[in-house]
Every structure is written in structure tokens, then in C-alpha cells.
Amino acid sequence: GAVVSQHPSRVICKSGTSVKIECRSLDFQATTMFWYRQFPKQSLMLMATSNEGSKATYEQGVEKDKFLINHASLTLSTLTVTSAHPEDSSFYICSARTSGHNEQFFGPGTRLTVL
Amino acid sequence: DAKTTQPNSMESNEEEPVHLPCNHSTISGTDYIHWYRQLPSQGPEYVIHGLTSNVNNRMASLAIAEDRKSSTLILHRATLRDAAVYYCILRGNDYKLSFGAGTTVTVRA
């Protein structure tokens, strides 16, 4: 089956620093990638939709200048949390789909802890 | 967004079938019904999807009501590895997934 990886799996950083999370589709070309975050005991919330070669579309309430998304190739999307603060601590999950297929394939998630 | 309603939790015994209901009375004609599941501290996993007809795959079966206002995910023989949160989601033409609270399935050995 289709595999999506994320790196790193967990990261701890100091408040005010920036953190980059990578999402890769390992065995298929991802025409669209999605970024979610999940706070403890809550469900996933969609943050943004990213199509290869174009600007990401952000959901209402998600600051595009704080959560920078780059989808430079058909197999890689990155999410950069800029000037991270403790309230940004969360489980960040990406997913990917390819043209012609209905399902999304999810990465294993990245746990971000901001001290 | 078209919404779905699921029970908060469901328990099952190992080796027995599990029927997970989902109501989606505001479904539109082009919405697909998707099911995903999530184990603790992992990303969600695709289970199955359908539009109008019932669907079967190696993981589960999806039974869709004739009026499409409800559906049921069927796990034929639950195992301990099936313990997870199951999400029923309506997927529109933009391919976005809106996750609700889901149903937490517990499997008793």
C-alpha cells in the first residue's frame, strides 16, 4: 500500500524557535497533501491543503505566516512552525492523495513540544 | 460541511462482528462516505469508502442505506488490533476530510 513518512517523529524546541516538519510520499506521487494537527483527547483539525507547485490554502483561523507550507515536489511537503510557542505543542499529521484515487494516506505524525 | 453523527463508544468481544453506525442526513449527491481509523499516537489509516453501493475489502464492509442518509461499517471478526477510534467522514469534491469525534471501539479478549 501507499506509504507516507514524516520526519522528525518527535521534536522538542524552545519557545521562539522555528521547527520544520517533512512529509514524504514514498511510493507514489502526491498531487495533494494535507496538514492536520491534533491536540490531546481531540480529533484531527485540517490546517491547510497543499498542491504541488502552488500556494497552500489555509483553513479559517490558521495563520499562514506562522505555519509555512511548501510543496516543492510531488513527493515532499514541509510545514514550518515559525516562532513556536507552548500553545503550538501538538501532534502534527500530514496526508497525501494522488490524482484519480479517493483515499488519503496518512503519515505517522510528528509530536511537537514547545518549552 | 456535511456532518456525520456517530456513537461515542462501542464495545465488542474478540472474534465477534462489530457494526459501527453513522448518520449523515445532510449528505449531498456527490459526497463519498469515507471511513478511517486511528490508533493511539498514530496517524489515521484508511479503511473503506463508498458512494451508493455496498463495498467490501480485506479490512471491512460498508453498508450504505438506500437513501444514503446513513451507513454502517462492519468489522466481520474483531481482533484486539481493531481497537481504535473510527471516523465516518463525508468527502466532497475538494477532497478535504473533516474529522468528528468518531467512535472509540474497545475489543475485549
In this prediction, residues B6-25 reach a mean pLDDT of: 97
The pLDDT tens digits for B59-96 are: 999 999 999 999 999 999 999 999 999 999 999 988 99
Q: Are B78 and B13 in contact (CB under 8 A)?
A: yes
The pLDDT tens digits for A71-97 are: 889 999 999 999 999 999 999 999 999
Q: Tell me if B87 and A93 make a contact (CB, 8 A cut-off).
A: no
pLDDT class of A52 with cuts at 50, 70, 90: confident
Q: Tell me if B91 and A102 make a contact (CB, 8 A cut-off).
A: yes
At B1 the pLDDT is 56
At A78 the pLDDT is 95
Residues of A in contact with B101 (CB under 8 A): 43
In this prediction, residues A51-75 reach a mean pLDDT of: 92
At B57 the pLDDT is 94
Closest in A6, A46, A106 to B96, CB measured: A46
Nearest CA-CA distance, residue B77 and chain A, Å: 22
Q: Are B22 and B71 in contact (CB under 8 A)?
A: yes
Best of B31, B38, B87 to mutate (most A CBs within 10 Å, chain A): B38
B105 has a pLDDT exceeding 70: yes
Q: Are B32 and B52 in contact (CB under 8 A)?
A: no
Q: In the predicted model, what is the mean pLDDT of chain B?
A: 95
At A1 the pLDDT is 67
Q: Tell me if B43 and A49 make a contact (CB, 8 A cut-off).
A: no
Assess A104–B contact: CB distance below 8 Å, yes or no: yes
Q: Are B77 and B17 in contact (CB under 8 A)?
A: yes
pLDDT class of B14 with cuts at 50, 70, 90: very high
The pLDDT tens digits for A20-45 are: 999 999 999 999 999 999 999 999 99
Query: For chain A, what is the radius of gyration of the CA atoms?
Result: 13
The torsion angles phi and psi of A80, rounded to 5 degrees, stand at -110, 120
At A84 the pLDDT is 97
